[in-house]
Chains A and B, each alone.
Chain A
Amino acid sequence: MARITAGISCSHVPAIGAAIDLGKMQEPYWAPLFAGFDFSKRWMETHTPDVVFLVYNDHATSFSLDIIPTFAIGCAPEFAPADEGWGARPVPVVRGAPELAAHISESVIQQDFDLTIVNRMDVDHGLTVPLSLMFGQPKSWPCLVIPFAVNVVQYPPPSGLRCYQLGKALRRAIDSFDADLDVQVWGTGGMSHQLQGPRAGLINKKFDTNFLDKIVADPDALTRIPREQYLREAGSEGIELVMWLIMRGALEGPVREVHRFYHVPASNTAVGHLILEPSA
């Protein structure tokens, strides 16, 4: 049977992608950020999964205001890096896992989560920046990826509780797939940041630190944070953090914190990163 071997959370700032693509990783501004992922890349060499189920949000790239799915699962055999207005990132095409994605769709929808099925989609920095941070710059990505897009652009996004419960349904779906596969679930986006209006630049380290602590030890407490509190305390774009709860729901039960990293700033954003393994 397929099994979930780890959960990873990671911010997905576009400027990080640009720094990688333009070879700026050693510059004084960026070096401390990338140093936080040195351990992760080494860890990944011995823990490469067969499939990453990658929770992220589309940033007005593949979904405009014409169609705004709350939860969208990518079931295609491949996904091209998107041209977001300044040319596509020079990263490998993302190969999907259509059989597993179809199984997850069927299972999760029958557990009462009404997913939107996407058979053609380009993927933006929300998905490719975490891949670059964890895998570096390979000629092809070392595993298959199921993109899972969550609406956090138009209010209201799904609640933290709903995301957490979806993660649990996802766990049951993956556990019931009859194939010998290691699957990691990644929750991306966040941490605190606000990109718009006179309050742009907001960072709330206290909120972020509590979130990092609780997502490891007491995720149920995080499911009680209302949307308005994210908006107010973590910034209008900090509400992306609900996506981390899908990852945590999929791990269920106690976890072991393998790695933690927190860094301010990457452009306008507080970067947070965790590697979690299920406690045996």
Chain B
Amino acid sequence: MNLKKQPPKPYAGIPGTTVFDAEQSRKGYHLNMFCMSLMKAPNRERFKADERAYLNEWPMSEEQKQAVIERDYNRMIGLGGNIYFLAKIFATDGRSFQYAAALMTGMSQEDYARMMLSGGRAYEPASPQPTEPKEGV
């Protein structure tokens, strides 16, 4: 299908944030449905026994499979993963939401937990866009 260029999304450019919209959902359908399958104990066992073989049963891209094997959650999100679905992977690994959140921020879990205890990550309003100098001025 030949699609015209779409206008920019009003939520593009929120720092450190990928909004799970229809485009991401379409990209990540099989990745997320693979995650969903991990809600069943027998599937978790098969996945743990041979991750690559289990992933190969799903029509996911090689990049998506590799990101799962490497537990690179930021990359999985970029490739269409949604955090509530990806949670099934770290639950299978016996890890918590806070573990995964720390990993995605690049902080140690201790530092992340300390940040949360002292009130969380502060919200920083976007600085106003610098005005482009006008040509010839």
Contact = CB atoms under 8 A, between A and B. Distances in A.
A265 B104 contact: no
Contacts, number: 146
A207 interface: yes
Interface in B75-120: 77, 82-85, 87-88, 91-92, 96-98, 100-102, 104-106, 112, 115-117, 119-120
Given A60-B88, A198-B104, A265-B120, A231 B82 contact: no
B29 A65 contact: yes
A14 B97 contact: yes
A60 to B, nearest CB: 4
B10 interface: yes
A195 B17 CA distance: 10
A153 B82 contact: yes
20 contacts: A15-B98, A60-B85, A60-B88, A64-B32, A65-B29, A65-B36, A85-B38, A196-B104, A197-B77, A198-B15, A198-B105, A200-B102, A203-B120, A207-B123, A227-B11, A232-B14, A236-B18, A236-B19, A265-B119, A270-B120
Interface string A251-267: 00000000000001101
Given A198-B74, A201-B115, A267 B97 contact: yes
A200 B104 contact: yes
A205 interface: yes
Interface residues of A, number: 44
Nearest to B125: A233
Nearest to A200: B101
Nearest to B13: A232
A165 interface: no
A228 B77 contact: no
Given A198-B74, A199-B14, 13 more contacts: A66-B33, A154-B20, A154-B25, A154-B82, A195-B83, A201-B101, A201-B120, A202-B123, A203-B116, A232-B11, A265-B119, A268-B98, A270-B120
